[in-house]
Amino acid sequence: MSNITRRNFIKVISSSVAVAGLAGFHEIGLGSSSGRVVVVGGGYGGATAAKYLRLIDPNIHVTLIEKNAQYVSCPMSNEVISGVRDINSLKVSYSTLGTRYGINVVQAQVTEIDPVKKNVRTANGQDFQYDRLIVSPGIDFRWNAIDGYDRNAVEIMPHAWRAGPQTLLLRHQLEAMKDGGVVIIVAPPGPFKCPPGPYERASLIAYYLKQHKPRSKILILDYKDKFSKQALFEQGWAQHYPGMITWIAGSMDGHVNRVAPYNMKVFTDFEEYKGDVINVIPPQQAGEIARRTGLADKSGWCPVNQKTFESKLYKEVHVIGDASIAGKMPKSAYAANSQGKVCAAAVAALINGKVVEEPSYINTCYSLVTPKHGISVAAVYELNDKGRIVEIEEAGDPSPIEASPWQREMEARYAHSFLINIMSDTFG
Amino acid sequence: MMRTFMFVVVAILAGAASAAERSASMLSYACAGCHGTAGASAGDSLPILAGLPREYLSNIMLQYKNGERYSTIMGRIARGYSDAEIDAMAIFFEKQKWVSAVSQLDPKMIARGKELHEQKCVRCHLGNGQYTEYLLPRIGGQWSDYLTIYLKNVNTSEFKQPQPQLMKESLSLLTDEELAALAQFYAAQQ
Ligand SMILES: Cc1cc2nc3c(=O)[nH]c(=O)nc-3n(C[C@H](O)[C@H](O)[C@H](O)COP(=O)(O)OP(=O)(O)OC[C@H]3O[C@@H](n4cnc5c(N)ncnc54)[C@H](O)[C@@H]3O)c2cc1C
């Protein structure tokens, strides 16, 4: 037992990770120059970049400008729609980023970015000068892509693709629906935020309907001919919800081009469908402020140097998260969080006149088929010699198709813990 | 007695640096979305990595990578790194401060777990499971849900889990209820 004394037991009183507690957290020798970085958008990308900048180089002054007082996580918001989760568990305030990491958190809508004068202006007339700017505004919808789907239509046919009131609206519509009703989900073309999201949503709506309205059906009308984790979803649907979910591929006339909210109808090239609840997830593009600043190209997304996330269109402006074109990485919270760290390290190095490090990125998307049946994809990425983010071949893959119920249950448990950790790594 | 399992030495510290030279912090940041900032997991089924010994972390990651240890997802991730990168991350996480899990536990289960610990596990998991060195992980203050899943898997022969033989033997005689009690006892050692 004398071994015990060889190392002292660590008695941890506080459960918080204070900035000072992170030994050897970053190895670049840091400069004394105190640069000013402004971050626009406090989602999974922007909040992570702000926090890690302060962890990497506490001399850098960081201002985070976010229009909302609190963030509502999209990951796991499909559980709110199925009725197994309270939306309050998805809400997080920005106060820890201020108190623990010394970030200047400003609640305001950014209305103008001047990349020449290096100035950011907010709706209430505040100006912020920067040495480097990080923009992480997430997605915006392409409002003209589906005829009839406008800002009024979302109150009747919710998108629920931003967590908050829209999520609850879709939930309430499902609760009010009669048994035997038809739920239509319109799934968008790529690239869009959270590739497995529409199919996880279909699964978790089915989970609710199976228990409370078992004669109901779900129809997914898709722009695409295949989707993320398709074999795993279809296996899960056959196992838990036989006959309940029908998926119509784009090439099989699944492509919705018009909606009529007051008749509760959607139209493809050759058919019209009537639904009792209709969830339209529209085609997407980079957030409005990024496009208005001229950071997006013709595709609607923002081209960047994939090592530093510096815009290819404006110097000293970096774009991360859903709005950026990040090689093979999908638009997910895990990806935005990972990019936020790579970008923070690059920005810290550039401000200190140091060499930018070789980047490393991960993405994971957990999805739930039921609250106890989880499936996942995971990938590790590197920068190839053409400067593009690519998957490392040896790693990655989806969960195996042949897995026991216990393995699926473990993945569901890990998915729930992943939510807690990604929220705490980003905002806490 | 500590020595019994320390003989299970694996040549883990493959020295050579990789071509791409990605720094330890750069590599390790990407793990935090699942394991928490600096490895201080806040989610009850994902393990805390902070402060675990380099040799232990390296050994496990290499076993995931080489398919010698069952995992739901770590194998798919570990294959993305060279042996040197794995060692660099192990050094990074070893340096971070362990932050014990704070969970709601049942005092009766903790008491039952303590008895079992003293009968079967104390010879290795010293200091109520808080002791950690070399290939022995700290389990005192780890998340109970993670410990429960791990112990259940050790007992499930379909999964490859290269534990010390002695530990496997002492575990195989225990019921699910007893394993849950042990998990709660260790989780309480904050
Ligand atoms: C239903 C659903 C489920 C999902 N599930 C998962 C999952 O399980 N795992 C996963 O990894 N990902 C998931 N995602 C995807 C994930 O939510 C996004 O990829 C992620 O949020 C992207 O982060 P971001 O920082 O790019 O954008 P966001 O998180 O959208 O953040 C953008 C922020 O910028 C702010 N902003 C925008 N413009 C301005 C302005 N002009 N001024 C001030 N502030 C502004 C917004 O208010 C917002 O807070 C899911 C998405 C959906 C819809």
What's the pLDDT tens digit per position in B59-69? 999 999 999 99
Q: Are residues A137 and A218 in the same domain?
A: no
Tell whether the model's pLDDT for residue B172 goes beyond 60: yes
**Chain Cα centroid distance, residue A125:** 29
Taking the Cβ of residue B6 and every Cβ of chain A, the question of whether any pair is shorter than 8 Å is answered with: no
**A286: Cβ below 6 Å to ligand 1?**
no
CA-based nearest distance A160→chain B, Å: 24
Q: Is A380 part of a structural domain of the chain?
A: no
Taking the Cβ of residue B124 and every Cβ of chain A, the question of whether any pair is shorter than 8 Å is answered with: no
Chain A interface disruption, residue of B2, B6, B26, B27, most A CBs within 10 A: B26
| 3-state SS class at B85 | helix
Q: Is A410 part of a structural domain of the chain?
A: no
Taking each continuous run of H as one helix and of E as one strand, the counts in chain A are 9, 24
Q: Are residues A60 and A169 in the same domain?
A: no
Other CB atoms within a 10 A radius of the CB of residue A273 amount to 17
Sorted by sequence, the CB contacts under 8 Å of residue A258 that are 6+ apart come out as: A146, A147, A148, A266, A267
Contacts of B23 in chain A (CB under 8 A): 27-28, 357-358
Question: Pick from A237, A258, A280: which residue ends a domain?
Answer: A280
Other CB atoms within a 10 A radius of the CB of residue B78 amount to 24
pTM: 0.94
DSSP class per residue in A371-419:
TTEEEEEEEEEEE-TTS-EEE-TTS--BPPSS--HHHHHHHHHHHHHHH
From CA A146, how far away is CA A267, in angstroms rounded? 10
CATH architecture of the domain with range B107-187: Orthogonal Bundle (1.10)
Confidence grade of residue B166 (pLDDT, cut at 50, 70, 90): confident
**Mutate-to-test residue for ligand 1 from A76, A106, A124, A193, highest number of ligand atoms within 8 A of CB:** A193
**Residue B183 DSSP class:** H
Q: Is A376 part of a structural domain of the chain?
A: no
Sorted by sequence, the CB contacts under 8 Å of residue A60 that are 6+ apart come out as: A34, A35, A36, A37, A53, A54, A347, A348, A351
Q: What is the mean pLDDT of residues A211-239?
A: 98
Q: Are residues A122 and A196 in the same domain?
A: no
Q: Looking at domain B2-95, does it have CATH number 1.10.760.10?
A: yes
What's the pLDDT tens digit per position in A115-128? 999 999 999 999 99
Tell whether the model's pLDDT for residue A320 goes beyond 70: yes
Q: What is the mean pLDDT of residues A331-351?
A: 98
Q: Is A103 part of a structural domain of the chain?
A: yes
Q: Are residues A135 and A30 in the same domain?
A: yes
Confidence grade of residue A24 (pLDDT, cut at 50, 70, 90): low
Q: Is A374 part of a structural domain of the chain?
A: no
> What pLDDT score was predicted for residue A30?
57
Beta strands at A104-107 and A110-114: parallel, antiparallel or unpaired: unpaired
Q: What is the mean pLDDT of residues B157-183?
A: 87
Q: What is the edge-to-edge ordering of all strands in the sheet holding A272-274?
A: A258-260, A265-267, A272-274
Q: Beta strands of A171-250 (E only): which ranges?
A: 182-187, 217-222, 245-248
Q: What is the mean pLDDT of residues A316-329?
A: 98
Higher pLDDT, A15 or A394: A394
The answer to whether the Cβ–Cβ distance between B30 and A416 falls below 8 Å is: no
**A333: Cβ below 6 Å to ligand 1?**
yes
Q: Are residues A176 and A274 in the same domain?
A: yes
What ipTM describes this predicted complex?
0.92
Radius of gyration, alpha carbons of chain A? 23
Return residue ranges of chain B for CATH 1.10.760.10: 2-95, 107-187
CATH code, domain carrying A179: 3.50.50.60
Q: Are residues A264 and A339 in the same domain?
A: no
| 3-state SS class at B45 | coil
**Residue A204 belongs to what domain range?**
153-280
Radius of gyration, alpha carbons of chain B? 16
Q: Are residues A124 and A44 in the same domain?
A: yes
Q: Is A254 part of a structural domain of the chain?
A: yes
CA-based nearest distance B91→chain A, Å: 10
The alpha carbon of A44 and the centre of ligand 1 are apart by a number of angstroms equal to 6
Q: In chain A, how many domains are there?
A: 2
From CA B128, how far away is CA A4, in angstroms rounded? 11
Other CB atoms within a 10 A radius of the CB of residue A123 amount to 11
From CA A10, how far away is CA B53, in angstroms rounded? 13
Tell whether the model's pLDDT for residue A12 goes beyond 90: no
Question: Pick from A327, A358, A389: which residue ends a domain?
Answer: A358
Q: Is A383 part of a structural domain of the chain?
A: no
Q: What is the mean pLDDT of residues A370-379?
A: 98
- Three-state SS string over A281-308 comes to CCCEEECHHHHHHCCCCCCCCEEECCCC
What's the pLDDT tens digit per position in A403-428? 999 999 999 999 999 999 999 999 99
Q: Is A366 part of a structural domain of the chain?
A: no
What's the pLDDT tens digit per position in A170-213? 999 999 999 999 999 999 999 999 999 999 999 999 999 999 99
DSSP class per residue in A308-345:
T-BBSSSTTEEE-GGGEE-TT--BSHHHHHHHHHHHHH
What's the pLDDT tens digit per position in A253-303? 999 999 999 999 999 999 999 999 999 999 999 999 999 999 999 999 999
Any idea which of A15-29, A94-108, B87-101 has the lowest mean pLDDT?
Answer: A15-29
Single out the residue of A175, A186, A185, A184 nearest to residue A213, CA to CA: A175
At residue A300, what are phi and psi to the nearest 5 degrees?
A: 95, -5
From CA B164, how far away is CA B56, in angstroms rounded? 13
Percent of chain A with pLDDT strictly greater than 70: 93
Q: Are residues A215 and A298 in the same domain?
A: no
**A282: Cβ below 6 Å to ligand 1?**
no
Give me the residues of A, 368-427, that contact B with CB < 8 A: 376, 378-380, 382, 392, 394-397, 399, 404, 406-407, 410-411, 413-414, 416-422, 424-425
Tell whether the model's pLDDT for residue B25 goes beyond 50: yes
> What pLDDT score was predicted for residue A301?
98
> What pLDDT score was predicted for residue A345?
98
Question: Pick from A246, A280, A314: which residue ends a domain?
Answer: A280
Q: Are residues A236 and A348 in the same domain?
A: no
